[in-house]
Protein backbone atom coordinates (compact mmCIF):
# COMPACT_ATOMS: atom_id res chain seq x y z
CA UNK A 1 0.00 0.00 0.00
CA UNK A 2 2.87 2.36 0.80
CA UNK A 3 4.44 1.86 -2.64
CA UNK A 4 1.08 2.58 -4.24
CA UNK A 5 0.74 5.89 -2.40
CA UNK A 6 4.29 6.86 -3.31
CA UNK A 7 3.57 6.05 -6.96
CA UNK A 8 0.41 8.19 -6.90
CA UNK A 9 2.29 11.09 -5.28
CA UNK A 10 5.07 10.83 -7.87
CA UNK A 11 2.53 10.78 -10.69
CA UNK A 12 0.81 13.91 -9.37
CA UNK A 13 4.16 15.67 -8.98
CA UNK A 14 5.31 14.81 -12.51
CA UNK A 15 1.97 15.75 -14.07
CA UNK A 16 1.74 19.09 -12.26
CA UNK A 17 5.33 20.04 -13.06
CA UNK A 18 4.80 19.27 -16.75
CA UNK A 19 2.13 21.97 -16.96
CA UNK A 20 3.79 24.42 -14.57
CA UNK A 21 6.01 26.21 -17.09
CA UNK A 22 4.66 28.42 -19.81
CA UNK A 23 6.68 30.74 -21.99
CA UNK A 24 5.03 33.55 -23.91
CA UNK A 25 6.84 35.99 -26.18
CA UNK A 26 5.01 39.15 -27.17
CA UNK A 27 6.51 41.30 -29.89
CA UNK A 28 5.22 44.55 -31.28
CA UNK A 29 6.44 47.58 -33.11
CA UNK A 30 9.56 47.76 -35.21
CA UNK A 31 12.46 45.40 -34.67
CA UNK A 32 15.19 48.03 -34.47
CA UNK A 33 16.65 46.63 -31.27
CA UNK A 34 19.76 44.52 -32.03
CA UNK A 35 18.83 42.11 -29.23
CA UNK A 36 15.89 40.45 -31.03
CA UNK A 37 17.70 39.07 -34.10
CA UNK A 38 20.08 37.29 -31.73
CA UNK A 39 17.13 35.80 -29.83
CA UNK A 40 15.45 34.75 -33.06
CA UNK A 41 18.56 32.98 -34.38
CA UNK A 42 19.25 31.26 -31.05
Extents of the domains making up the chain: 1-40
Query: Which portions of the chain are predicted below pLDDT 50?
Result: none
DSSP state of 19: T
Give the closest residue to 36 by CA, choosing from 22, 25, 20, 23.
25
Per-residue model confidence (pLDDT) at position 38: 84
Residue 10 CA, distance from chain mean position: 19
Per-residue model confidence (pLDDT) at position 22: 74
Give the closest residue to 26 by CA, choosing from 16, 18, 36, 34.
36
pTM of the entire predicted model: 0.36
Residue 11 to residue 29: CA distance in whole angstroms: 43
Amino acid sequence: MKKFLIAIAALVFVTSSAFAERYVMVTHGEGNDPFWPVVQKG
